[in-house]
Structure 1
C-alpha cells in the first residue's frame, strides 16, 4: 500500500490524531485516581458495559442485519473481544494499582515493536535487521522504565508488579492486533467493535464477581466514580476509536502510529497536574529509546503493519 502524503495532515486531521492519545493518557490517569474507589475489574467491566450500551444505540440495527456473520465468525470475535477488550484493558487497570500512568503509557508505547516481533515469530512476517535494531531500542526503553533507571533492579528482580503486568497486557494486545489483521470479518469498524465488546464484557464479568465476592473489594459509588465511568466509557473508548479510525482512513497506518506515541507525554503532563507525580530522568531517556526504536522499525518497512492502538 503506498504511503500517504504528509499534505493530508490538515488541522482537522491533526486534531483527529491528537485527541486519541490524550484520551488514552487520561484513561491511565483516571484508572490511577480510582484506586481505592472502584476495583480494577469493576472499572473495566462497567467501562465496556456502558460503552457497549452507547454503541448499540448507534450500530444496533447493523448488528442485527449482520447476525449471520456474527454467528459464523463468533470464534474470531470471541478471541478479539477477550484479548483486546477484556484482557488488555483489565490488566491495565490492575497494573495501575502498583505503577504510574506514565510508566503504563511508556510501556504501551512499545506495542508497535511487540506487534512486529510477534508477526515475525507467529504470523510468518519477515523481520529484517532494521526491525531488530528498532525492537532492541524500544525494549531497552521499557527495561529502563521497569528498572527505574537502576540496572541493579533488573538483576535483583526488583520490579514494580504493575510494570510486569503491563508488559503482559501489551503482549496480549499485540496478538489481538494480528488477529484483527489476519481475520477480516466484513463488518464496519464500529459494528465489529460492538461485537467484540459483547465478548469482552462477558469475559470480564466472572473476574469482576470474583473480585467482589472472593476478594471482598467493593465500589464506593458516588460522584467521582460516576464521572470516571462516564469518561472512560465515552472518550478513550468510543470517541477515541472513531477519531483514530477516521484519521487512519485519511493518512494510512504509519503516520498515526507516531501520534499514538504522544500518550506518554500527555500522561506525564496529566499525572503532574492531577496526581502530583514527578517526571524522572529515566522517563525521558526511556521515551527517547522507545520512540527511536519505533521510528527505525517502521521506516524500514515497505508495507507497514496496521498498528491499531488502544480501544
Structure 2
C-alpha cells in the first residue's frame, strides 16, 4: 500500500478533529453532563445530515432496506454513535487526561488483536513493529518527555470506561472494513456516505438519547448551564468530529485498512497535546517533535506491508 498525500490527509484529519473533540469536550462537561453532551451532539449531527442522506429514509423501499439490516446497523450505531464518545466524556469525569489518552492510544494493539481473532487477519512483523514504535511516541507525549511519569498511572473507573470505548471502536473499524454479507457487494444498498451515516444515526441517536434517560435515573446530573460557548461547542462536535471525521474515517478505513488507520489514530494524543498547550498558553516542547517522529516512523513501517485478511466469500 502506498501512502499518497490524499490518503495521508484522509487518515490524519479525523485524529485532528477528535483531538479537538477531547479538548472541547473536557471544557464542555463542566456545563453539561457527558451523556447529554453526546446525545445533543448526535441529534444536531443527525439533523444536519438529513438533507444529505434523506434518500436512506425517504421511501418505503429505503426504510425496508434499513429494517432488513437493522442488526448490523444497530451495532454500528451503538458503537460508533451511541457509546464511544459517551464513554469518553464520562471517563474525563472520573479519570485523568493522561490515563484516558494513554488507553485510547492502545487502539492499534486492540485493532490488530481483534483482526487476528474474529477476522483471521494475522498482523505482519512490520505492523507489530509500527504499532510499538507509534505507541512509544504517544507514551513520550503523555509522559511530557519524562518516561518515569508513566509509572504513576493507576487504573480507576474512568480508565475502564475508556478501555471499553477503544475496544468497541476497534470492532467498529473492522465492521466497516469487513462487513457482513448483507452490507457487502451487490447486497449492500446503494447508499452514499451521508445515507450510510444517516442509517447508522437512526439507531445511534436512539441509543444516545436512551442512555441519557437511563443515566439520569441512575446518576442524576445538574441542570445544563447554557451559554453561547456551550452552544458553539455542541455545534462544533456535531460537525467536525462527527460528520467530517466520520466521513473521512470511513473512506480511509476502506482504502488503507483498519490496522493502518489505527496507527494514524495515534496522532490524536499528539494533536491533543499541542492543542491543550495552546489553550493554556504553553508552547510545544522538544519532546513533541521527537514523539511526532516516532509516530510518523510507526506509520511508515506499518505501511510497507499489511495483514492479509481472508477475502469475503
For Structure 1 versus Structure 2, the TM-score category normalised by the shorter chain is 0.7 to 0.9
Look up the match of 1:211: 215
1:30 aligns with 2:21: no
Following superposition, the deviation at residue 4 of structure 1 comes to 4.3
CA distance in 2: counterparts of 1:296 and 1:304, whole angstroms: 19
1:283 shift after superposition: 7.9
Show the counterpart of 1:309.
none
Segments of structure 1 that go 5 or more residues without pairing to the other structure are: 306-311
Does residue 123 in structure 1 map to residue 126 in structure 2? no
Deviates more, 1:194-203 or 1:25-34: 194-203
Aligned equivalent of 1:56: 50
Q: State yes or no: 1:228 paired with 2:228.
A: no
Q: What TM-score do you get using the length of structure 1 for normalisation?
A: 0.77
Query: CA–CA distance in 2 between the matches of 1:190 and 1:303?
Result: 29
Match of 1:198 among 199, 202, 218: 202
Q: 1:163 to 1:286 in 2, by over 3 A?
A: farther
The answer on whether the counterparts of 1:113 and 1:138 sit within 8 Å (CA) in structure 2 is no
Q: Cα deviation per residue 1:151-196 (whole Å; 9 max; x = unaligned)?
A: 6446xxx235434432221111011112222325223222111111
Change (3 A) 1:246 1:168: closer
In structure 2, distance between residues paired with 1:277 and 1:214:
39
Q: 1:112 to 1:281 in 2, by over 3 A?
A: same
Unaligned runs of 5+ in 2: none
Displacement of 1:225: 1.6
Asked if the contact 2:130–2:299 (Cα under 8 Å) also holds between the matched residues in 1, the reply is yes
Cα offsets for 1:119-154 (capped at 9, x unmatched): 102212223444444455566677785998446446
Within-5 A mapping of 1:25-174: 25-65=19-59, 66-99=62-95, 104-105=100-101, 107-136=103-132, 145=142, 149-150=148-149, 152-153=151-152, 158-159=154-155, 161-174=157-170
Cα deviation, residue 33, structure 1: 0.2
Q: Say how many residue pairs are matched.
A: 294
- Candidates 232, 253, 256, aligned match of 1:253: 256
Q: Distance in 1 between matches of 2:220 and 2:3?
A: 54
Measured on the aligned residues, the alpha-carbon RMSD in Å equals 3.7
User: Matches of 2:119 and 2:203 in 1, distance apart?
Assistant: 24
SS in 1 for 2:31: coil
